[in-house]
Amino acid sequence: MFARSRLMALGTLCLGLFSVGCVNVDKYEALRLERDGLRQQLDRSQTEVSASNAKAASYKVQLDQLMAGGVSGNALTQNLQQQNTQLQLQLADYERRYNDLVNKVGQGPALPAALTSELTAFANENSELVDFDAQKGIVKFKSDVTFASGDATLKPDAKQAIDRFSKILNSNTARNYELFVAGHTDNKPVSNPATLKLHPNNWYLSSHRAISVGNELIKSGVTARRIGVVGYADQRPISSNDTPAGMAANRRVEVLILPTTIGEVVANQATDSPKPTVTQNPTNEMNK
């Protein structure tokens, strides 16, 4: 077939061989080059069409993904709303538990005399840092000397005191008691730009400080399952915020040694709904 085509081409070029002679070779070459150029343009056009089709298909995939993402975004929003509702219920449960516990302490059995004696001695040895309410079984860490202003990082002296406190909590007389760590602030809003980066408001600051104390207790050997952590911002003042001394008293982290033990907690969990611990990542309020 190829040979026949070739012969036909030669026949065309030399149609008038006997009368006018063969077609000029230069003209033939020009025609061939023109044909090749047209073929290259066609190939380029086909390539561009293919590329355009591929790009259109890619855009369609992206559009489908965006549309699917919108649906997923709605689903994510609903999920976050459900999580937020659940968190609010958990916080409400903690609020109820806290109030119940505060009402119970001081009315039920007192802490063992040996434990009360140890905690009293501990508070006396660290009076600039700690107060101890023997009637309620509450150890209060003063925020102004436990943390830097507007920060949730424990100072070295505070870490040493908590390490000593942990040894008492792990003693035979105290090692089974449940612990509740609660952070508190005064009523001055957080305003320092450096503080706002990590603690947008007093709720964050009080929670993060409580978490810092809870984490340090765990590092010092207190079992994590014994510890609950919560922040109350300025909602639980123990003094008036109208004076500097009152504001300083309100800035504190309390560790409540509860009249319940781990054994009782585990038994209650077998019949009650779970009561998860509020957790967040940790980091003179006068500069808040």
User: pLDDT band at 194, cuts 50/70/90?
Assistant: confident
Residue type, 217: L
Across 41-45, 240-244, 251-255, least confident range? 41-45
179/261 Cα distance (integer angstroms) = 9
Burial class for 223, CB neighbours closer than 10 Å (0-12, 13-18, 19+):
middle
Q: Is the CB of residue 147 less than 8 Å from the CB of residue 198?
A: no
Give the domain ranges of the chain. 18-67, 101-287
User: pLDDT band at 169, cuts 50/70/90?
Assistant: very high
117 vs 61, residue with greater confidence: 117
Q: Quote the mean pLDDT of the chain.
A: 75
33 vs 142, residue with greater confidence: 142
**Cβ-based neighbours of 125, under 8 Å, separated by 6 or more:** 164
Residue type, 240: S
Give helix 202-219 / helix 156-169 axis angle, nearest 10°: 60
| The CATH homologous superfamily of the domain defined by 101-287 | OmpA-like domain (3.30.1330.60)
Q: Check pLDDT > 80 for residue 280.
A: no
CA 214 and chain centroid, separation: 18
187/203 Cα distance (integer angstroms) = 11
31/23 Cα distance (integer angstroms) = 12
User: pLDDT band at 88, cuts 50/70/90?
Assistant: low
Structure-block tokens of residue 25:
């070779």
Q: Check pLDDT > 60 for residue 115.
A: yes
186 vs 41, residue with greater confidence: 186
Burial class for 16, CB neighbours closer than 10 Å (0-12, 13-18, 19+):
exposed
Q: What's the pLDDT at 285?
A: 55
244 vs 54, residue with greater confidence: 244
Structure-block tokens of residue 170:
């792990």
Q: What's the pLDDT at 42?
A: 52
Q: What's the pLDDT at 270?
A: 43
Name the percent of the chain lying above pLDDT 90: 45
Q: Check pLDDT > 60 for residue 191.
A: yes
β-strand partners of 142: 252
Q: Is the CB of residue 152 less than 8 Å from the CB of residue 209?
A: yes
SS (H, E, C) the chain: CHHHHHHHHHHHHCCCCCCCCCCCHHHHHHHHHHHHHHHHHHHHHHHHHHHHHHHHHHHHHHHHHHHHHHHHHHHHHHHHHHHHHHHHHHHHHHHHHHHHHHHHCCCCCCCCHHHHHHHHHHHHHCCCCEEEECCCCEEEEEHHHHECCCCCCECHHHHHHHHHHHHHHCCCCCCCEEEEEEEECCCCCCCCHHHHCCCCCHHHHHHHHHHHHHHHHHHCCCCHHHEEEEECCCCCCCCCCCCHHHHHHHCEEEEEEEEEEHHHHHHHHHHCCCCCCCCCCCCCHHHC
